[in-house]
Amino acid sequence: MFAKEQSVAFEHNSPVAVTLYRVSRQMPHYHRNELEIIMCLQGTVEVYSMHEKHVLHAGDIKEADTYDIHTVTADVENTDNLVVSFHFDLTHPLFAGKGYELLYYVCSSDGIDNAKKPALDKLRKVLWAMLYEEVHKYTHSADDNEERINNLSKEVLRILRNSFQYFNDINLDDTYSKDMQDRFEHIIAYMLENYADKITMRDICQMEHLNYNYLSQFFKTTSLKTFRAFLHEIRVYHSEHLLLCNPELSVPEVGYACGFSDPKFFYREFKKKHGHTPHQHRIWYRNYNRLVSDDTVYSLQEKKQALYESIACFYSEMIKL
């Protein structure tokens, strides 16, 4: 197995679990029902999410969706780092039934365009406020702390959904309304649940009561260009999970399981996305895993002073903006 499922413990029915750690070379992993936001507090770390490399410096963040295979690592010259992960329980009553687990999000500090920087800064403010609340959770009444954490958690997911959903990332034509975004949510949820089956754009139009030409034009104005390209991207996304978590499956079997009828076509689409073949993908993770090591996990109280300094530095930076 090249990647494994990792479960998170949520205390006292909290919607979020906050983990503070120093990283060296994590085992690639995924979370079944949790959305994770990784924030670098000190030093420099690298996050590989769906095999895309993101470099995080102090104050930078990267989100990992449910089922995203990801890992955090630091090179030998950057072991003096401090990282915090916020895990949001999407089965919690605050989020359950709202479709958060069936959406893609694209949120990372590196490479963000100027139009999204205000939303990113707002998200970072909320995360810093949440970290502050977690550090002070024992100085407030339990009810007050629960209310604050719940409100902050809802705000994090609201910002992600409104500003960093996949719809926002691929939509190159800002004339599309909130109604179209809602429809796109339904479309992506349906395709994520049924990607292994035969899906056509006419099926989607019938399901969503959309005009065929209207939906075709929508995809033409996105970075994907076609509905078929979108379907292939979803299938390749799921193929990585089977490749890394089910080593007993051959590469053609993985392609068939994800809805590709031709192994050669699967190879081509996978290489288009990742830059190498499915077999080479497994080799990369096999080599990576030879040097994995456990994180050094700290309690928030143990690193309270360092957290105060990070929070103060962040707010000083935000005041300058």
Shared-domain flag, residues 211 and 147 = no
Shared-domain flag, residues 21 and 147 = yes
Number of C-beta neighbours around residue 42 at 10 A: 20
Shared-domain flag, residues 151 and 234 = no
Shared-domain flag, residues 26 and 135 = yes
Cβ contact 247:3 at 8 Å: no
Shared-domain flag, residues 117 and 139 = yes
Shared-domain flag, residues 208 and 143 = no
Q: How many domains does the chain have?
A: 2
Q: What is the pLDDT of residue 321?
A: 45
Q: What is the pLDDT of residue 204?
A: 92
Give me the torsion for CA of 216, 218, 221, 225, rounded to 10°: -40
Q: How far apart are CA 314 and CA 301, in angstroms?
A: 19
Q: Assign residue 98 the CATH number of its domain.
A: 2.60.120.280
Number of C-beta neighbours around residue 107 at 10 A: 22
Range of the domain at 274: 173-221+224-289
Shared-domain flag, residues 281 and 180 = yes
Q: Which residues of the chain have pLDDT under 70?
A: 78, 138-142, 172-176, 315-321
- What is the model's pTM? 0.92
**3-state SS string for the chain:** CCCEECCCCCHHHCCEEEEEEECCECCCEECCCEEEEEEEEECEEEEEECCEEEEEECCCEEEECCCCCEEEECCCCCCCCEEEEEEEECCCCCCCCCCHHHCCECCECCCCCHHHHHHHHHHHHHHHHHHHHHHCCCCCCHHHHHHHHHHHHHHHHHHHHHHCEHHHHHECCCCCCHHHHHHHHHHHHHHHHHCCCCCCHHHHHHHHCCCHHHHHHHHHCECCCCHHHHHHHHHHHHHHHHHHHCCCCCHHHHHHHCCCCCHHHHHHHHHHHHCCCHHHHHHHHHHHHCCCECCEEECCCCCHHHHHHHHHHHHHHHHHC
Q: Assign residue 279 the CATH number of its domain.
A: 1.10.10.60
Shared-domain flag, residues 251 and 125 = no
Task: Name every residue whose Cβ is closer than 8 Å to that of residue 182 and which is 6 or more positions away in sequence.
Answer: none
